[in-house]
Amino acid sequence: MRYRRGQEIDVEVERVAIEGRGVGRVDGIVVFVDKGLPGERVRARVSRVKRSFVHARVVEVVRPSPLRIPGRCVHLPLCGGCTWQELDYEAQLDAKTGLVQEALERLGGFRGIEIPRALASPERFFYRNKMEFSFFAGSDGEPVLGLHTPGTFDRVFDLEACHLMSESSNAIVARVRDLARRSGLAAYHSRRHEGFWRYLVVREGKNTGQTMVNLVTNAGPLPNRGEVVDTLKREVPALTSLLRNINTRRATIAVGEEQELLYGAAEIDEILAGLRFRISANSFFQPNPRQAERLFELVCDWADPSGGDEILDLYAGTGVISLFLARRARRVTGIELARSAVADAERNAQLNGVDNCRFLAGEVRDFFKRRAAEARVARLVIADPPRAGLHADVVRALRLLRPVRILYVSCNPSTLARDLQLLCRDDFFRLRRVQPVDMFPHTYHVETVAELVAQSPS
């Protein structure tokens, strides 16, 4: 049967797939259903048609899944963030474990690998330490402040409450929205590229109680600066940093070319496993710090370095994994492309009195080409690449280097499976164990730690 866009079909959802969609079959055709949960029958409207599959969106839940629970968020129909909020949390963990299993078997060709259940997050709500909220020009001309509706870059709904960050952050959003409206300046228009207010970024140190408020605006003076500072100081007791980032570019990012300190310090601190990290407005830090601590301790336990080990930390970011490992290794060398992240990593090492870490700025693949002799010393390699996974040159370099072990930390099961398959080809490495970790409850995202062991050359 040939389907068409807009057609409504009945689908029995069997399971969830990568990217969190429900999966079923109708007349032998695979149907991916947005927000369809395993074990339920839905009426869905076809949104995209391909030769071997179709995409559809739920119009009506005809028979609810036994795993379906009431959603907590008032914005559930509008917001695309917590796509699994109506799926029982234990079922979320099973589904994420299944996503990793499916990717390794179907894309990586691995069989017989026992995959433990995904590690649960210590907190299921209010776990994030950073959220970005967007401004938008409302129908009455006043600034709207909230989150984007799914699949759009120029439509924002006014946020009443988000259950991913702290409850106090919701009060900050409400107060900043009011201050923006009182300023008399318009929200930035992403199509006309005019207007003043662009983003609000709230960051928190979950283990230090410190809060940063970062207002991202277009160029020009902040007319009610005194009122902004006085109001937020008074109403946000944990406020330790109030900044303004000025972004005049058309790019829809919450990062400015220029930064203005309005109150307090330019950074906040976070503590993980006794290590202190300084976080600036535009630096990366794991969004779920308490689960990140468990993730990094898992990496350290699996690494189990001796005091004489040399370790390579590829895609080192701001040096968190490097600093965790440095307490048990002779030396850790972190490689990171972003110079700002390298500067943060060096500062974090100094802050913690760690002198056996060094951080080098540049492409990971270039490191293997230019410093091959240094790379050969490492018995253990940690790789924590972006979602795109390892560059082909890095895979080739690791196969040539053949360290004793590789610990691969991944945020994308598909690219993880691809890279592991390439590394293990011709028995260069053996996949020893895998552990999924739930960093983002109520979403389909899953982190995974995999350990590879070098095989002896034949």
| From 82, 162, 357, 411, active-site residue | 411
Q: Which residues contact 229 (CB under 8 A, 6 or more apart)?
A: 242, 262, 263
Q: Would you say 343 and 361 are in contact if contact means Cβ atoms under 8 Å apart?
A: no
The beta-strand segments (E) located in 220-325 are 239-246, 258-264, 267-272, 275-280, 310-314
Structure tokens at 326: 């440095």
Q: What are phi and psi of 287, to 5 degrees?
A: -65, -25
What length does the chain have? Answer: 458
The beta-strand segments (E) located in 206-299 are 211-217, 239-246, 258-264, 267-272, 275-280
Structure tokens at 80: 């695309």
Whether 411 is catalytic is yes
Decide: helix, strand or coil at residue 164.
coil
Closest C-alpha to 177, from 200, 150, 201, 208: 200
CA 395 vs CA 57, 61, 213: distances in Å: 38, 45, 40
Q: Which residues contact 302 (CB under 8 A, 6 or more apart)?
A: 407, 433, 449, 451
Half-sphere exposure of 343 (CA within 13 A, CB side): 7
CA gap 416, 411 in Å, rounded: 8
Catalytic site positions: 411
